[in-house]
Chain A
Amino acid sequence: MTEINGNTPMEKMTPGGDIYTAGNAREFKTGDWRSVKPIFLSEKCKQCGLCFPVCPDDAIPVNKETLQREDFNYDYCKGCGVCAKTCPFGAIEMRKEDE
């Protein structure tokens, strides 16, 4: 589906605008929307999990084995700061994107 873009001729476009590759929005990166950036301070993190579900962009990966969070996925993080405000331990710090 990625091959469809603004230059694709009509003959190559899917009829009705159907998409046959469910979940392919992952190919669309939203990280460049960010003006502020969350920084994960792993030493402060108690792995309580409260930040896992609050990210609107699913940009906090959680390890299946250890059930622990990993660093942010900046491909998608839009920098809303919800996670930082949710963290009870100050383990997420928001910084200007260019800092």
Chain B
Amino acid sequence: MAYNLKEVVANKPSRFTSGHRMCAGCGAPPAARMIMRALKPEDHAVVAGATGCMEVSTFIYPYTAWTDSFIHTAFECAGATISGVEAAYHSMKKQGKLPQDGETKFIAFGGDGGTYDIGLQSLSGAMERRHDITYVCYDNGAYMNTGIQRSSATPKFADTTTSPAGKVIPGKAQPRKDLAKIMVGHHIPYVAQTIGYMNFKDLYEKAEKAIYTEGPAFLNVLAPCPRGWGYPTDMLMQINKLAVETCYWPLYEVVDGEYKITYKPAKKLPVEEFLKPQKRFRHMFKPGNEWMIEEFQKLVDERWQELLDLEEITNRNQ
């Protein structure tokens, strides 16, 4: 059935409730809630959370904002934890220890710190073992929960508390890791990069595919952080839009190894427009630092071209 935002919001239950304690204007809850809405209302889910903003704000004893079962163990092991839950389901269902009707789905949420960095091994193991899970990285480009330290998802030049823009070093010295492609390297059936954009169609449809694809699936979702990125709290959707329209955050999916770019801007905006509203890139706009913006643009262009090439190469034989 074609996506209808109003029907989805009105008729599919919110499985990520109000009363959580993430910051005002945080980009993660709208994305997580829409992903959870992609579940069929009759299906049960077990959600695993890596330690991070989302986990500590949605499950503070004695309150949980998840209407499904939820488990948090530690920072680096959401992948392994959800593997164990899924293995238990597989084993117990096979043995007739669980009701045979109805489905249970397994979804893990981790921030970029818990996914790109400390949790990468656990995630890689879970994907390689082919558990029937969906791992969602809500990528806000730094360790926001501990106070904005750089991660391997932090873009080049970003000013963070451990990659400060100083007199000698202009913010983070290295470009960001491309996690979605690392996941593609696991030859899993579904990998996608998405964002809460416009009417959330891209996010919803990719979440639905990820959850209902048999085997492991990975979603990388950009989740802006007004505090860490230094933009006005109300600008979430404008930032999301600029991330997409500048091709800083391309929307694509990889189904059984075949790349498909799900949104190609008619007119690619200069990346400057994405960088400008964010204080973490403020130093790039000082006179004499034009080279930084040029270099950033070059990185974005290269990655975008690479994606266009991959789309062409992987679809050539059709």
Contact = CB atoms under 8 A, between A and B. Distances in A.
Interface of A: 1-2, 4-5, 14, 17, 19, 21-30, 33-34, 47, 49-50, 52-59, 62-64, 67, 73, 75-76, 78-82, 84-86, 94
A84 B200 contact: no
Nearest to A23: B67
Contact of B22 (A29, A56, A62): A56
Chain B interface, DSSP helix/strand/loop, else mixed: mixed
Interface of B: 5-7, 9-11, 14-30, 33-34, 58-59, 61-70, 196, 198-200, 226, 233-238
A21 to B, nearest CB: 8
Given A26-B18, A53-B5, A53-B196, A82 B62 contact: no
A88 to B, nearest CB: 11
Contacts of B28: 56
11 contacts: A1-B63, A17-B62, A23-B64, A24-B64, A25-B64, A54-B237, A58-B29, A67-B10, A81-B25, A84-B234, A85-B236
Contacts of A56: 22, 24-30, 236
Given A4-B61, A26-B19, A53-B33, 20 more contacts: A1-B63, A2-B62, A19-B63, A22-B68, A23-B65, A30-B19, A47-B6, A49-B6, A50-B199, A52-B5, A54-B196, A54-B237, A56-B29, A58-B16, A78-B23, A81-B25, A82-B25, A82-B233, A85-B237, A94-B234
Instruction: Choose among B15, B34, B66 the residue with the greatest number of A CB atoms under 10 Å from its CB.
Output: B66
Nearest to B57: A25
